Homo-oligomer: A and B are copies of this chain.
Amino acid sequence: MKAEPPLLQALKGAVTKRPPIWLMRQAGRYLPEYRALREKTGSFLDLCYNPERAAEVTLQPIRRFDLDAAILFSDILVIPDAMGQPVRFEAGEGPVLEALADRAAIDALAPERVEAHLAPVYETVRLVKAGLPERVALIGFAGAPWTVATYMVEGGSSRDFARTKGWAAADSEGFAALLAKIEAATLRHLIAQVRAGAQVLQIFDSWAGALDEVFFEDLVIAPTKRIVEAMRKAAPDVPIIGFPKACGLLYERYAAETGVDAVSLDPSVPLDWAASTLQGRVAVQGNLDPVLLLAGGETMRSRVARILAALGSGPFVFNLGHGVLPPTPPEHVAELVALVREGKAA
């Protein structure tokens, strides 16, 4: 009998001798081999939709570092792109979409296009799975409906999400229809990733921290809970990690009410609180500040030891609190992985 990958053990509630480790954006611009391949490929979405290259990019950090998981190289905005709201990425500008203008634009969105439009993504998952050692888990992912909705309504990134929250405030029925479309597409996308070989799923709610408690309940907890419930039926053995970034106190309700197996913590979450309040209920993942990985040195080492000491005695996955920053030296990543493997403070 083969042993289950350490990441799956931790997400199912086991306290592993050394915590598994992977890093958000572990495949990306800080790696020279990524930049070389990125330059040869057209747009960012062209790379996401090219199975051979996307698989190669997904596997690059696995070859370099002793990580416990690979995460599919893709983007949360493939969902609007698949539903008929095209997305393009402009250099230095972030994603650009034609902002949804009205209810008719919502009604025109077609979640049923997901499997066909994103077929190259599922092919990527299959290629990655075939190239991974058994002990390295493969993580699929999607954006949470609230976060994806912000890009669809604002037409890109936003500072205050005024259009999106304004829509939710003025027309809760219309906004619920938008979330329902995104939910339907997201479910199809997650199920297809699992069928292609994803063993773990992460739901990124990057803008959850921008909401007050009432909006958080309606726009973050409720849709996430519906997705988790549906995935329990579709793929009962696949653990789900939720990442409601920067939601502060509201992590507690998120962990208690959505049904996720684990929550990913941004750097601002105090470790003792996470251990006492969250870790009894779910596994936790996080939460080294990516700037400390970029900086390296003694400050990084002491922070890693502090995280291991506080969270290592419960179900825990070592990760950053956000993604790896592009100027990060790859040697710092190698040192971080070694530190966690040694488990000095555990």
A212 at the interface (CB under 8 A from B): yes
A270 at the interface (CB under 8 A from B): yes
Partner of A287, one of B165, B212, B292, B294: B212
A300 at the interface (CB under 8 A from B): yes
Contact between B321 and A212 (Cβ–Cβ < 8 Å)? yes
Describe A's contact surface by its main secondary structure: helix
Which B residues are in CB contact (< 8 Å) with A214? Answer: 303, 306
Which B residues are in CB contact (< 8 Å) with A246? Answer: 209, 246, 248, 268
A230 at the interface (CB under 8 A from B): no
A267 at the interface (CB under 8 A from B): yes
How many copies the complex holds: the figure is: 2
* A290→B300 CA distance, assembly (Å): 37
Which bucket holds chain A's interface residue count?
35 or more
A297 at the interface (CB under 8 A from B): yes
Which B residues are in CB contact (< 8 Å) with A287? Answer: 212
A273 at the interface (CB under 8 A from B): yes
Minimum CB–CB distance from A314 to chain B (whole Å) comes to 17
Interface bits A205-232 vs B (CB < 8 Å: 1, else 0):
0000111111110000000000000000
4 closest residue pairs by CB, A with B: A248-B248, A169-B299, A169-B295, A165-B291
